[in-house]
Amino acid sequence: MTAVPTKLLRISLLAAVSVALLLSDPRADAQPPSSTTTVNTGDPLPRKAAADRRCKDRRAGSTRWLDSNPHVPFFISVRDRIESASQACCAPWAVKGSRWRTIGPYGDVVGTAVVTGGEGYDVTRCYELELDVVKGEAGVGIFASTGGDWRPPARSARWEASKGEHEALVRMVGSITSLLDEPTWRDPDEPWPKRWDDRILTFQIQPDPDRGQRGGRFAAVGGRALLIARLDGGSWKLSFLDTSTAMAAGDGARPLAAFDIDGDAIPELIYHWDAGDSWSDVVLRLEYQGWVEAAESVGGSTA
């Protein structure tokens, strides 16, 4: 049985020369998460809060984060650390009545939501939660626990491209996506449903010479692939490209938010991918060698 994958194909700038060729998806061989927990499809949420020592959320100051779709454990942040929340966190976090902060695209807390229900799913062996917004707005769909040390960043990563910069970005992305091969299942007479022009998130990173961080202004673009570009002297440079959903029948990639999670003043990027039969949220972190994966959620599946 196909299950939720754990890793995505990551294509760095150094490999961008072969954009049109790197379309294989390693998710196909993914296996179910290892656990002794039994969760069947349709199971109600536990009547009592469960405990599982394998869930690494007991450290002082830990903040829990939920995925945008489905609402399952995403990651745990504590001080300068970001860790994927494993399947072991599914039962401990499935607490009816628990309150969560709703998050905007630049890490601002825009409201409060409450877990009102949910049910188990046997493929992921996890509980998919239902939340109702009781105050403010829903935000981008990810949620942070009310407990924990994480606070919205003092400096927002918000940045808006000028008209000329936006037009240059559109030309660049159009050129790159035109190189992506066509899957055999697609009707060439039908337009691609995975548009990218409405999936653009722009943000900025402040330079930090002491840490070798040059900073800059960035744009994350979704669609058939996830692309991150950096504005350099008026022109856009490709920083990251993930084509692992390019041949899939799902909704593709969609950037959700860019904000500092681990307190280092450098925004992380959160995005959602959907390959049709499986999907999840991912955190990318900018390090000296480029964008790397910091965490991935338990995710969902139609298997």
- What is the per-residue pLDDT across 165-178, written as a single tens digit (0 to 9) for each? 999 999 999 999 98
Residues 102, 121 share a domain: yes
Strands (E), 150-289: 200-205, 216-221, 226-232, 235-242, 252-259, 268-274, 278-287
Q: Do residues 54 and 109 both lie within one domain?
A: yes
Judge whether 1 lies within some domain.
no
* Residue 184 CB partners (closer than 8 Å, separation 6+): none
Say yes or no: 48 and 77 in one domain: yes
Domain's final residue, options 101, 118, 151:
151
Residues 218 and 251 in one domain: yes
User: What confidence tens digit (pLDDT) does each residue in 239-252 have?
Assistant: 999 999 999 888 89
Domain C-terminal end among 100, 118, 151: 151
* Final residue in a domain of this structure, among 151, 170, 203: 151
Residues 221-238 pLDDT 10s: 999 999 999 999 889 999
pTM above 0.75, yes or no: yes
One domain for residues 131 and 68: yes
46 located within any domain: yes
Give the range of the structural domain holding residue 59, as residue numbers without chain letter: 32-151
